[in-house]
């Protein structure tokens, strides 16, 4: 055993603190530099620029940008959902004040510069384990591995830019606290934990995990030291259900108490073994009652465990489609994807895992990091968003393997070449782990959320609509709509539960009369819920207002163009982008669900690519044929009549022209639409053909219920006539 320990030992290189910070600077600049690869690729893409600056590439980024903008402006409209009170928005606003660049440049570049700070705690974790060089090697990879890069690249402004930096910093501080028996490190760790939880509420789970593993480490390896009990208490205070100010006061007060009264009694108490175990017991009881039990219950009830296809609202029996089924980052992913997202390659992942396990065996203090790794592997159940939590410590495992290779060659080299062997070989091995991630970065070209022309329409809308007006669109576009047009939205990237999405989905997928009526009712109930502090089950409130208990009776009533509607002060605009065509079946899923049973109703929507003509037959992929001669569509062995055959194109003046041929013999069937200017084919059933989105965007039919505001090939905006 001693031989194994000797082999696995990390030998501190006796590097000065100045050299340590130089290594940190090198690792930091390396991680920032690789993020400029994306800038080099998109710099010649004019559609990626607006007002002379590259636009961001994540929907949620516009949420934090909106909050920061409103903080800087000093105002925002009531109930606009702007995150002015969040730490992330305040952080962006702070940097906007102190960094001499445009706001657009700041929100684009800030994520990469902040996220690369993860190198600092990684280097110090290596140092506390015994090798600053190993920490440096881990920092090179940990700041740019596949999934971490995805969520912290330039343009990806989100809480992810510090969501790993904070917990890894806490882990480094806790490790120093336990190894050095220094309360100052634990005080710092506890204070950072408070900020960490405020930064992202999900990190509360990590904070609890850190306490649990701190307890395990203390009981297994520090059970003879009462000091470990005192240190452990610092990890309880940040997760107590008390106000932030009270937490800070409690941590500082306990630090003073620890330094004075407890320090004086420690030696005397440690002579009594029972005192140590009583101390552990008291800590566990306090934590279990105040924090642990409620935390476990909340995790058990988490939607990521149930993965429900539908969800219901308290006090209501209506079944709604659960949004978690449509969020890619919360979906199931393959093991191959998990491996590459964490380490960039199978070799890097396997050796990283082996290296991490060896570090756990040799340096049990690293148990503190286990919650992060476990959360990273939770991606198997919870979706790809969790992989980033494992990245820093799999990188640490790779760095350990690289270090061991260098150490073995160092032992065989002559004295003059020993340092070269250790540093050179380990760096070369680490480069092998880094290279697949570097290759991936070169290939990873993500578009902006909206392109320049789409943003221009929102900028124009900003000068037409009032700040209290509503824009109805799908939740994917909610945040950028609010940011660029400075209006309100009904749903967005944070407000998109099944019950909230239902009315918007209904308005986009039903006939124009029903759509208009639902839009007005949705705005009315949304505003009413804010004023009366009601919940978000807007459909139930609508039905109650009309004294209707059956939702399908209510939907039938919405088809009445003379329906008595409530008066609203706000104008309503529809934002209909071309890009919504590709997700329209997903949009429809939220309102084509049977509200009574939760069963999904099926409708036909086909948007094929690669169409070719053979005589009077159009050949589509998957064996679909349009038989122009007979007016039928052949799908496998089944033939369905063509109800409408539509062609649209834009003339030289930019006006939409359309040709609609109806089949008088087909009361039902499938509809074929050729959008010539786009090269786009659609084959739809009557449900989709009659939907507000198709009628307004594809055909520009308003039925006198909508007023065109902006009509462009990429975006069409209509105003609801009240």
Does any domain span residue 39?
A: no
Does any domain span residue 638?
A: yes
Contact assessment for residue 487 and residue 719, using Cβ atoms and an 8 Å cutoff: no
Band of residue 325 on the pLDDT scale cut at 50, 70, 90 = low
Among 250, 284, 301, the domain boundary falls at: 301
User: Which alpha helices (H) appear in 324-451, and where do they start and end?
Assistant: 335-343, 346-362, 370-377, 379-382, 391-412, 418-420, 426-443
Contact assessment for residue 601 and residue 593, using Cβ atoms and an 8 Å cutoff: yes
In degrees, to the nearest 5, what angle opens at C-alpha 429 toward C-alphas 426 and 435? 135
Q: Is 443 exposed, middle or buried (0-12, 13-18, 19+ CB in 10 A)?
A: exposed
Q: Measuring CA to CA, which residue among 675, 678, 703, 698 is closest to residue 688?
A: 698
CA 128 to chain centre: 32
| 562 C-beta neighbours (distance < 10 Å), count | 6
Among 589, 621, 648, the domain boundary falls at: 589
Task: Tell the residue number behind the tokens 């578009």, with chain if given.
Answer: 447
Is 610 found in the same domain as 533? no
Mode of pairing for the β-strands spanning 638-650 and 319-321 = unpaired
Is 482 found in the same domain as 537? yes
Does any domain span residue 200?
A: yes
283: containing domain = 164-301
Beta bridge partners of 716: 576, 711
C-alpha dihedral (71, 75, 77, 78), degrees to nearest 10: 80
At residue 167, the pLDDT reads 97
Does any domain span residue 437?
A: no
Is 668 found in the same domain as 618? yes
Does any domain span residue 306?
A: no
Question: Mean pLDDT lowest for which of 260-264, 443-447, 491-495?
Answer: 260-264
Residue 683: its H or E element: strand 680-685
Q: Can you tell me whether residue 101 is helix, strand or coil?
A: coil
Is 572 found in the same domain as 485? yes
Is 193 found in the same domain as 250? yes
Is 549 found in the same domain as 495? yes
Q: Measuring CA to CA, which residue among 683, 721, 687, 682 is closest to residue 703?
A: 721
Does any domain span residue 399?
A: no
Is 566 found in the same domain as 655? no
pLDDT in tens, 262-306: 666 665 655 556 667 777 888 888 888 878 787 777 766 655 444
Is 581 found in the same domain as 521? yes
Q: How many domains does the chain have?
A: 3
Among 280, 301, 322, the domain boundary falls at: 301
What are the residues whose beta carbons fall under 8 Å from the beta carbon of 297, sequence distance 6 or more?
A: none
Is 291 found in the same domain as 258? yes
Does any domain span residue 456?
A: yes
**Which has more pLDDT, 472 or 415?**
472
Domain containing residue 574: CATH number: 3.40.1380.40
Question: Mean pLDDT lowest for which of 79-83, 305-309, 509-513, 551-555?
Answer: 305-309
Residue 676 scores a pLDDT above 70 = yes
Residue 222 scores a pLDDT above 90 = no
Q: Is 6 exposed, middle or buried (0-12, 13-18, 19+ CB in 10 A)?
A: exposed
DSSP secondary structure string for all residues of 595-633: TTT-PBPP--EE--SS-EEETTEEE-GGGEEEETTTTEE
Is 641 found in the same domain as 563? no
At residue 312, the pLDDT reads 56
Is 296 found in the same domain as 219? yes
Is 682 found in the same domain as 570? no
**pTM for the whole structure:** 0.89
Does any domain span residue 135?
A: no
- Measured between alpha carbons, how far is residue 300 from residues 228, 297, 303, 304, 313 in Å? 30, 5, 9, 9, 19
What tokens were used for 482?
């609010």
Q: Measuring CA to CA, which residue among 100, 172, 198 is closest to residue 365?
A: 172
């Amino acid at each position: 055993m001693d031989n194994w320990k000797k082999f696995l030992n990390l030998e501190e290189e006796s590097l000065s603190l100045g050299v340590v910070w130089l290594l940190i600077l090198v690792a930091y600049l390396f991680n920032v530099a690789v993020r400029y690869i994306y800038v080099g690729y998109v710099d010649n893409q004019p559609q990626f620029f607006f007002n002379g600056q590259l636009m961001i590439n994540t929907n949620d980024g516009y949420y934090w940008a909106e909050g920061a903008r409103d903080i800087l402006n000093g105002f925002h409209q009531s109930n606009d959902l702007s995150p002015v009170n969040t730490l992330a928005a305040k952080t962006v606003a702070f940097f906007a004040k102190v960094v001499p660049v445009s706001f657009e440049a700041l929100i684009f570049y800030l994520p990469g510069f902040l996220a690369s700070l993860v190198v600092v705690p990684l280097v110090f974790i290596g140092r506390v384990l015994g090798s600053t060089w190993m920490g440096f090697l881990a920092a090179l990879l940990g700041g740019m591995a596949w999934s971490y890069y995805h969520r912290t690249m330039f343009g990806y402004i989100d809480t992810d830019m510090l969501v790993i930096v904070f917990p890894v910093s806490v882990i480094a501080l806790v490790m120093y606290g336990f190894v050095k028996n220094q309360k100052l490190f634990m005080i710092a760790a506890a204070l950072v934990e408070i900020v960490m939880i405020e930064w992202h509420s999900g990190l509360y789970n990590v904070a609890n995990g850190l306490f649990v593993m701190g307890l395990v480490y203390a009981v297994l390896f520090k059970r003879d030291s009462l000091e470990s009990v005192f240190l452990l208490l610092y990890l309880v205070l940040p997760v107590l259900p008390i106000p932030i100010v009270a937490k800070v006061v409690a941590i500082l007060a306990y630090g003073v108490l620890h330094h004075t009264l407890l320090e004086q009694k420690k030696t005397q108490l440690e002579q009594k073994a029972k005192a140590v175990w009583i101390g552990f017991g008291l800590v566990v009881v306090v934590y279990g009652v105040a924090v642990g039990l409620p935390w476990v219950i909340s995790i058990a009830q988490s939607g990521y465990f149930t993965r429900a296809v539908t969800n219901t609202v308290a006090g209501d029996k209506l079944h709604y489609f659960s949004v978690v089924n449509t969020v890619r980052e919360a979906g199931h992913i393959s093991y191959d994807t998990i491996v590459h997202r964490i380490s960039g390659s199978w070799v890097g992942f396997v050796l990283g895992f082996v290296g991490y396990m060896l570090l756990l065996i040799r340096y049990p203090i690293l148990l503190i990091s286990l919650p992060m790794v476990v959360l990273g592997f939770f991606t198997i159940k919870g979706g790809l968003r969790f992989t980033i939590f494992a990245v820093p410590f799999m990188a640490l495992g790779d760095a350990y393997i690289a270090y061991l290779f260098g150490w073995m060659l160092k032992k065989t080299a002559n004295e003059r070449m020993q340092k070269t062997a250790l540093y050179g070989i380990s760096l070369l091995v680490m480069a092998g782990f880094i290279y697949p991630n570097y290759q991936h970065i070169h290939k990873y070209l993500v578009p902006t959320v909206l392109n320049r022309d789409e943003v221009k329409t929102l900028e124009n809308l900003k000068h037409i609509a009032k700040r209290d007006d509503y824009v109805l669109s799908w939740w994917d576009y909610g945040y950028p709509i609010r940011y660029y047009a400075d209006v309100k939205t009904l749903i967005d990237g944070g407000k998109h539960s099944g019950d909230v999405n239902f009315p918007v989905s209904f308005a986009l997928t039903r006939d124009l009369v029903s759509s208009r009526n639902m839009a007005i009712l949705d705005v009315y109930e949304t505003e009413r819920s804010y004023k009366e502090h009601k919940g978000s089950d807007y459909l139930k409130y609508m039905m109650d207002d009309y004294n209707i208990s059956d939702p399908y009776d209510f939907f039938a009533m919405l088809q009445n163009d003379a329906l008595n509607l409530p008066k609203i002060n706000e104008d309503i605009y529809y934002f209909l982008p071309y890009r919504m065509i590709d997700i329209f079946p997903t949009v429809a899923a939220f309102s084509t669900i049977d509200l009574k049973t939760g069963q999904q109703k099926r409708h036909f929507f086909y948007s094929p690519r690669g169409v070719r003509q053979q005589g009077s037959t159009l050949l589509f992929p998957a064996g679909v044929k349009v038989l122009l001669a007979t007016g039928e569509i052949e799908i496998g062995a089944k033939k369905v009549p063509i109800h409408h055959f539509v062609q649209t194109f834009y003339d030289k003046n930019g006006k939409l022209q359309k040709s609609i041929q109806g089949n008088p013999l087909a009361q039902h069937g499938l509809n074929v639409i050729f959008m010539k200017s786009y090269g786009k084919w659609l084959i739809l059933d009557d449900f989709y053909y009659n939907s507000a989105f198709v009628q307004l965007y594809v055909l520009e039919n308003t039925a006198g219920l909508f007023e065109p505001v902006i009509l462009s090939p990429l975006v069409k905006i209509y105003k609801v006539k009240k």
